[in-house]
Amino acid sequence: MSFNEYLLVVRKRIVLVAAIFLAALAAAASVTALTTPVYESTTRIFVSTSGNESTSDLMTGNSFTQQRVKSYVDIVTSPAVLDSVVAELSLQDLADKLPDRIASTVPLNTVILEITVTDLSPYRAANIANSVAHSLETVVNNLETVDPTLAPPVKLTVIQPGQVAKDPSAPRPFLNLALGGLIGLALGFGAALLRESLDLRIRSVEDIPEKTGSANVLGGIVFDPNADSNPLIVHTSPKSSRAEAFRQLRTNIQFIEAAEVKKSIVVTSSVPSEGKSTTIANLAIAMADTGAKVLLIDCDFRKPKMHKYFSIEGAVGMTNLLVGQVKQSDVVQRWGRKHLDLLPAGQIPPNPSELLGSEAMKKFLAKAEKDYDVVLIDSAPLLPVTDAAILSKLTGGVVLVVAVGKTTKPQLSAALGHVETVGGRVLGFIMNKIPTKGVDAYRYRYSYKYGSYGIYGAYGNYGNYGAYTQAYGSEAEAIANAEAKPTKNKLTFKPSKKV
């Protein structure tokens, strides 16, 4: 992942990161508040040798002292030193714990011994530090004295007595809060990355499975909360950005048609409620706006919707045609003033898959491809049933609608596997319900703009392709303004023959 992608993950999971950060701060504050304050007092002792007169004697004595003072570190906490301290300060209740509260160190290349005492009372800490220094001086003099008639070769001098501390050495509120904040940020960022890695929903073009081969992202449609109540946006609001997105989608699909022998395309999805029906309905209107002869077939025999979207008669349709009850001219209905014909699903049959894979279906599609410039087929989702997979074998291929933030990678991979199993072809993907705000919206635009996808081929990436779509969009807008003006009662139609 790049740095920008990490930032996107943090922005997307900012609530989680903030919650963990605040929890870590609260924990640090609680630990600080519950920790009993302790105080430190330090005594510094200078160790020297006596009887050095010449320079060489001084150098030899200094080396001797540096070696000697290291052994005094261990003597500081010995019973020989602490017993007298306990007796002097009446610390019998702390006799066993006293060694743990005393630390002695020697700074590198010095002859200074530092004795630090930690205690709950700042006064007692200072008293213990000074008492230990005096006791150590006495013990060292006794240990270093070989001849009582001569002065000991080593002398200990207190150069800094222990002072009463004004502030506790622990806890340190600012340091604890800073550490808690850093730990909270690290844990929050890690949790955000973990959630992101476990989130299998498709949120950008880059999430499309790599095994799709030459299949391409044909376009993207933004999320519209009113899609159910206003499904035909290309007709009702031709100047909207969402309508323009369908016109750009139409242009991309026309490039596919130019490279294919068959003119029929199946539009489906992996699971229900991804917006495939509204997508194909608007795509059909956009294609008809260019003057092309378009046939839109509702082959979703499980939950047909085309007759509701276009307000046409849907009691008799494709299923009746396939079983030979009616003729094609009886059920195909012209919609509006364009070259858009609709064929509703008709009665819901008990055996949809068998009907769609029948010889009658093959013959009908062959004839429809001769009579129309493009045949669009709405089919049931791939995962619940096999209808779309069967149709993918009989037509030019399948275009899959992918709902951003809803469809998961395993679902899409399984749907692609169904098409691959029957030998069908996936022509491309339509990213639907793209968020208009938030991190996912930016992520989609970023990946879509800077990714190079096969559908554009010679036209380059999205940036170079923009000039063409802009010109084409202007033409589509002119057509929409001149010929697709909405009316109060929407468009009217007359079927070729009542059934």
Digit-coded pLDDT (tens) for 28-71: 999 999 999 999 999 999 998 765 554 455 555 567 778 888 88
- The set of long-range contacts for 388-391, using a CB threshold of 8 Å and a minimum separation of 24, is 388/266, 388/268, 388/418, 388/419, 389/418, 389/419, 389/421, 389/422, 389/424, 390/353, 390/356, 390/357, 390/422, 391/266, 391/299, 391/356
Peptide bond preceding 173: is omega within 30 degrees of 0, i.e. cis?
no
Under 8 Å between Cβ of 399 and 265: yes
Tell me the pTM: 0.64
10 falls in which pLDDT band (50, 70, 90)? confident
Written as one letter, the residue type at 375 is V
Which residues are bridge partners to 333 per DSSP?
A: 342, 495
Distance CA 396, CA 419 (A): 12
Indicate the pLDDT class of residue 210, thresholds 50, 70 and 90: low
What pLDDT was estimated at residue 198? 85
Other Cβ atoms closer than 10 A to 217: 24
Beta strands in 137-249 (DSSP E): 154-160, 216-222
Mean pLDDT of 412-434: 91
Query: How wide is the angle at C-alpha 440 spanned by C-alphas 435 and 444, nearest 5°?
Result: 90
Mean pLDDT of the region 363-374: 92
d(Cα 376, Cα 362) in Å, to the nearest integer? 15
pLDDT of residue 499: 31
pLDDT value, residue 463: 32
Domain boundary assignment for the chain: 3-35+171-198, 39-160, 205-495
Give the integer Cα–Cα distance in Å for 296 and 423. 24
Write the DSSP string, 118-163.
Answer: EESSHHHHHHHHHHHHHHHHHHHHHHH-SSTTS--SEEEEEEE---
Query: Most confidently modeled of 121-125, 206-210, 213-217, 471-475?
Result: 121-125
Contact of 118 with 129, CB cutoff 8 Å:
no
Residue 183's H or E segment, with its range, is helix 173-198
- Quote the CA–CA distance of 342 and 290 in Å, as a whole number: 17
Characterize the bridge pairing of strands 426-434 and 398-403. Answer: parallel
Report the C-alpha gap between 344 and 434 in whole angstroms. 29
List the strands of the sheet with 154-160, edge to edge: 102-105, 112-119, 39-49, 154-160
Grade residue 457 by pLDDT with cuts at 50, 70 and 90: very low
Q: Integer distance in angstroms from the first to the last C-alpha of the chain?
A: 59
Domain covering 205-495 in this structure, CATH number: 3.40.50.300
pLDDT, average across residues 426-441: 79
The stretch 368-388 carries a mean pLDDT of 93
Question: Is pLDDT above 50 for 471?
Answer: no
Strand order in the sheet with 340-343: 216-222, 426-434, 398-403, 264-269, 374-379, 294-299, 340-343, 333-335, 493-495
How far apart CA 215 and CA 431 sit, in angstroms, is 13
pLDDT attached to residue 53: 52
Longest dimension (CA), the chain: 136
pLDDT of 451 over the 80 cut: no
CA 454 – CA 448 distance, rounded (Å) = 12
Report the pLDDT value the prediction gives residue 401, as an integer from 0 to 100: 94
d(CA 50, CA 54): 12
In one letter, which amino acid is 46? F
Mean pLDDT, rounded, for 297-312: 92
> Of the CATH numbers 3.40.1350.10, 3.30.70.1130, 3.40.50.2000, 1.10.150.120, which one belongs to the domain with range 39-160?
3.30.70.1130
- With beta carbons less than 8 A apart as the criterion, state whether 285 and 338 touch: yes
Q: Binning pLDDT at 50, 70 and 90, where does residue 486 land?
A: very low
* pLDDT tens per residue across span 162-174: 999 999 998 999 9
State the burial class of residue 397 (Cβ atoms within 10 Å of its Cβ: 0-12, 13-18, 19+). Answer: buried
Q: Per-residue pLDDT tens for 17-26?
A: 999 999 999 9
